[in-house]
């Protein structure tokens, strides 16, 4: 299986190429440079692997939530590439990828992913790692004030994502003793998007290019256009 994945949903910009079990990633923290970097990263990965777009099985992208502008960049890039190469697209939640990355790094299996949503709110996702070592959503992702997130069931939860750096005290107070710790430096990486996308593609869960759309979790997207 060969999948090229990208993410520009927040400050990090990344692209990853999964070929069978091996993943190669280009990654840079580059606020406001995503449009400049992402196509270069994609092309570099393909050239290093001796592949062209038409050789791939699918494309994947972080479909949100995140920065309005950033999510639109990745959506536009992936739609254009998928149309041109006639490839299926696998949209992956950025919160899911953040949670998957924390499992990859430190092995935590109960994960609370949080991103700052501006307007004194957080994007929030509750995940558990299944027997296949992939994260599974426990309940619907949401956007809400940090003091109103729904506490997860049971103990042993690990927070992850930049939302914990901004709203950590409020979130920790809300979760209480069920929280074991938090990593506010965990960000969305394309390598985790690619891994999740491989499972989705194998299960037949993909969309054509025109249906590869952003997920904002919030209707008032115009109010966060400057994110």
pLDDT in tens, 39-63: 999 999 999 999 999 999 999 999 9
Contact indicator for 146, 161 with CB cutoff of 8 Å: no
Q: Which residues, at least 6 apart from 187, have a Cβ–Cβ distance to it below 8 Å?
A: 10, 11, 12, 98, 101, 161, 162
**pLDDT of amino acid 32:** 87
**pLDDT of amino acid 221:** 42
- Using the predicted structure, report yes or no on whether residue 227 has a pLDDT greater than 50: no
* DSSP-assigned beta bridge partners for residue 29: 12
- What is the mean pLDDT of the segment spanning 103-120? 97
Q: Which residues, at least 6 apart from 6, have a Cβ–Cβ distance to it below 8 Å?
A: 14, 15, 16, 38, 41, 42, 59, 60, 61, 62, 74, 77, 78, 190, 193
pTM of the model: 0.95
Label residue 218 by pLDDT band (50, 70, 90).
confident
**pLDDT of amino acid 220:** 44
What are 36's two structure tokens? 């400049």
From residue 87, alpha-carbon distances to 30, 38, 66, 213 in Å are: 28, 18, 25, 15
pLDDT digits (tens, 9 = 90+) for 143-192: 999 999 999 999 999 999 999 999 999 999 999 999 999 999 999 999 99
Q: Is 39 helix (H, G, I), strand (E, B) or coil?
A: helix
* DSSP-assigned beta bridge partners for residue 207: 89
State the Cα–Cα distance between residues 13 and 78, nearest whole angstrom: 14
Burial class (CB in 10 A: 0-12, 13-18, 19+), 85: middle
Q: Are strands 2-7 and 22-29 parallel, antiparallel or unpaired?
A: unpaired
């Amino acid at each position: 299986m060969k999948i090229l994945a990208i993410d520009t949903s927040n400050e990090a910009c990344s692209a990853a190429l999964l070929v069978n079990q091996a993943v190669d990633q280009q990654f840079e923290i580059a606020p406001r440079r995503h449009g400049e970097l992402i196509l270069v990263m994609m092309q570099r990965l393909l050239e290093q692997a001796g592949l062209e777009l038409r050789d791939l099985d699918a494309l994947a992208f972080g479909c949100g939530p995140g920065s309005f502008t950033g999510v639109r960049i990745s959506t536009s890039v992936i739609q254009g590439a998928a149309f041109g190469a006639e490839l299926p697209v696998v949209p992956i939640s950025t919160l899911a990828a953040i949670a998957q990355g924390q499992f990859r790094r430190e092995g935590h299996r109960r994960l609370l992913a949080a991103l700052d949503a501006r307007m004194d709110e957080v994007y929030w996702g509750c995940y558990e790692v299944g027997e296949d070592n992939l994260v599974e959503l426990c309940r619907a992702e949401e956007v809400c004030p940090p003091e109103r997130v729904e506490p997860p069931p049971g103990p042993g939860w690990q927070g992850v994502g930049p939302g914990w750096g901004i709203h950590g005290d409020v979130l920790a107070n809300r979760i209480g003793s069920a929280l074991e710790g938090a990593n506010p430096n965990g960000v969305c990486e394309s390598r985790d998007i690619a891994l999740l996308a491989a499972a989705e593609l194998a299960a037949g869960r993909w969309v054509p290019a025109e249906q590869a759309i952003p997920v904002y979790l919030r209707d008032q997207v115009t109010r966060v256009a400057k994110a």
